[in-house]
Amino acid sequence: MKKTFYILPLLLINLAALAVNYPANVQNVLRKAGNNRSELEAVLMHYQPDSLKYKAACFLIGNMDIHYSQTYYWADSLGHAVVFNELSYPDFSSSQIAFNSLREHTRGIHPVPVRIPDIQTVGRNFLIDNIERAFLAWKKKAGGVSFEDFCEYILPYRISVEPLQAWRGKYEKQFAWLPDSLAARSSGEACAFFDRLINKEFENLYYKGITRKEPLPRLGAVQLQFRKKGLCEDAADYGVFMLRSQGYPASVDYIPYWATSSGSHTLWHIDNVNTHSEFDLALKLSTQMPVFGREPSKVIRTTYARQPNVLANIEAQENIPDNFLRMYNYKDVTAEYWPVKSLSCKLDTSATGRMVYACVLNYQKWEPTWWAQARADSAEFDNMTLGVVYLPAFYKQGQLLPAGYPVALGYNNKMVLQPDTDAKRYVVIEEQDKYLKFRPGKRYTLLYWDKKWKELETQTADTDTHRLYFNHVPGNALLILIPDYSEYKERPFIITDEGTRVWF
C-alpha cells in the first residue's frame, strides 16, 4: 500500500532555523529564551539577506541575556494589581493628580518591584523597528562612526535597567533639528549648547534635594520625555537617548562612589560631536576635559555588550559585592577623567581570600570600588585614582573583612597607614572652611582605624572654640572626627609629622 507523508510547515520552518549557523552567544541566548525564542529567531531570519543588519541583530540578541527591566506595579492590600499608567495622561501633573485620587480610594496601595528579563519579552516588531531606525540615524550622521561603535553606542534599545519602551520614533521627531544645529559649532560651542539644551529641556531634581520614592532605579525613555524631570542619572539617560536617536555614539558614565566625598554621580559621554567630550549636567560642567572638584573612586562606562575583563566572568556572583562589580557590561574609563596609577597593597596573612577589593570611605562605610586577585601576601589594583585612601578587603558571606591596612595613594607618594601605638602624640585639630566648623555645646569624638574604627577621646566645643586638642594619638594613623550631629559625611584625614592635616 502506498504511504503518504505530510510535513507540517511549522516543522520546515524549525528545520530551516536549525540549519542556520548562529554565533555561539546567539545560540546560547536562544536556548534560554523559552517561549520567546520564535520572536528572536524571526528577527535573525528577517535579516539573513542583509549581512550588516544581521550582524547588528546578532550583537543585540547575543548579549540580551544580561539585560532586564527593573520596574514595578501597584497592588492593593490584598495583593491584587491596580491598573495605573502615568503615560495615559496629557502631562505628568495630571497623572499625579489622578494617582493621588486612586491612592485615596484604594486601601493599602503599594508598589511591587519586578524584574523582567529582555530575552522573555523583547518581540520581533520592537527589535526590527529599533534596528531599522538606528541604521537610518547612523547613515544620516555626518562623519565616520565605525560599525563597532555603532553597535555599542547607537544601536542598543536600552541603556541600563530602565522599563523597556519604544522610544526611537519619539526622540527622532523631537530632536530632528539637532544634527544641523551642531554641524557648524566648534567643540567648545557644542559643549555650551548641550548645557543650555538639557537645562532647558529637563529639570534636574538634584538641585532640590529630591529623591525618587518609587522603586524605579531608572526612568524609561518615554517617561523621561513625559516627566521632563529626574535625578542626575535620568538627565544623563535623557541626553544619551537624544543623541543616539540622531546617530551620535553616546554612553552613560558614572561614579559608583566619590572617594573624597559621599554619594555617587552620573554623567554622559559623547564621541564624534566634533570632538571627544563629556557632559556633567548635575555639576553644570561641559568641557572637553572634565575636572571634578573631588576624586572619583572609579569612572565606569556602561556598555551593551559583555566585556571580557570584568570580574563577573571569573568569579561567582555570591562572592562579589552587590554593586556594579556584579555586572558584565562596563568599562573602567577612570584614566579619561583623573590621574591614575597602579596600587600595590600588602595583605594581612591571617586573612585569606581569592579576590581582594579596594574600598573607599563613603558615608562612613567602606565601599568596594575595584578588585584584584590575591597573590601570596599582596594584591595589585589597576588604574586607581590618585589622592585617595583605600582599604583592601575580602568579601565573605555578604560581609567585607579588612585584608590589610589602609593605603593613601597620593599624587607624589604612597603611605601605608598602620597606626603606631608606641609613638603616640599630641595633635591639634583646627576649624577649616568648607570642611570643619565647631558648634558650641556639641561633642566631637576622634577615632583611628586599626582593623575597625577605635575611639580615642571625646571633647565638647565651647562658644569660642576654634580648635580641639587630643592626647595619645597613635602616629601614622588614619583618623576621623565624628560630631554628635553627624550625617555620616565626615571625611577621614591624616596628621603629617609636620602637623599638617590632609583630608581624604
Dihedral in degrees, nearest 10, Cα atoms 93, 97, 102, 108: 80
Sequence-ordered list of residues with C-beta below 8 angstroms from that of 498, at least 6 positions apart, any chain: none
Radius of gyration for the chain, computed over Cα atoms and rounded to the nearest angstrom: 27
Determine the Cα–Cα distance for residues 120 and 40; give it in Å rounded to an integer.
10
- Percent composition of the chain: helix, strand, coil (DSSP 3-state, to 5): 30, 30, 40
Contacts of 196 (CB under 8 A, 6+ apart): none
Q: Give, in degrees to the nearest 5, the angle at Cα 173 between 167 and 176.
A: 120
**For 152-177, b where at least 16 C-beta lie within 10 A, e where not — what string?**
bbbbbbbbbbbbbbebbebbeeebee
> What spatial distance separates the first Cα and last Cα of the chain, rounded to whole Å?
91
Q: Are strands 229-230 and 203-204 parallel, antiparallel or unpaired?
A: parallel
pLDDT of residue 372: 95
**Residue carrying C-alpha cell 570632538:** 275
**Would you state the cell numbers that stand for residue 446, as one nine-digit string?**
576622634
Find residue 430's DSSP bridge partners: 467
Spatial contact of 153 and 141, defined as CB atoms under 8 Å apart = no
CA distance 15 to 23: 17
Give the per-residue pLDDT at 160: 95
In this predicted structure, what is the pLDDT of residue 275?
A: 45
pLDDT for the residue 156 = 98
DSSP 164: P
The grid cell for 175 is 530632536
Residue 7's pLDDT is what?
Answer: 43
Q: Which three cell numbers stand for residue 216?
A: 524605579
Task: Check: CB of residue 164 under 8 Å from CB of residue 223.
Answer: no
* Phi, psi (deg, nearest 5) at residue 63: -110, 10
CA-to-CA separations, 330 to 175, 257, 359, 360, 448, in angstroms, rounded? 28, 16, 19, 20, 35
DSSP at 432 = B
Q: What residues contact residue 336 under an 8 Å CB cut-off, 6+ apart?
A: 278, 299
Are 202 and 230 within 8 A, CB to CB?
Answer: yes
Residue 188, pLDDT score? 63
Q: Which three cell numbers stand for residue 438?
A: 565647631
Reading the chain (504 residues) residue by residue, the pLDDT tens digits are 444 444 444 444 444 444 468 999 999 999 999 999 999 999 999 998 889 999 999 999 999 999 999 999 999 999 999 999 999 999 999 999 999 999 999 999 999 999 999 999 999 999 999 999 999 999 887 567 899 999 999 999 999 999 999 999 999 999 998 888 877 776 667 767 777 777 788 888 877 778 887 889 999 999 999 999 988 899 889 989 999 999 989 899 999 999 999 999 888 777 654 444 444 444 444 444 445 788 999 999 999 999 999 999 999 999 999 999 999 999 999 998 899 999 999 998 776 778 999 999 999 999 999 999 998 889 999 999 999 999 999 999 899 999 999 999 998 889 999 999 998 888 999 998 878 899 999 999 999 999 999 999 999 999 999 999 999 999 999 999 999 999 999 999 999 888 888 889
Contact 491, 504 (CB under 8 A): yes
Cβ density class 334-368: b for 16+ within 10 Å, e for less? bebbbebeebebebeeebebebbbbbbbbebebbb
Burial of 18 (0-12, 13-18, 19+ CB in 10 A): exposed
In whole angstroms, give the CA distance from residue 300 to residue 309.
13
C-alpha cell at 356: 581582594
State the CB neighbour count (10 A cutoff) for residue 491: 17
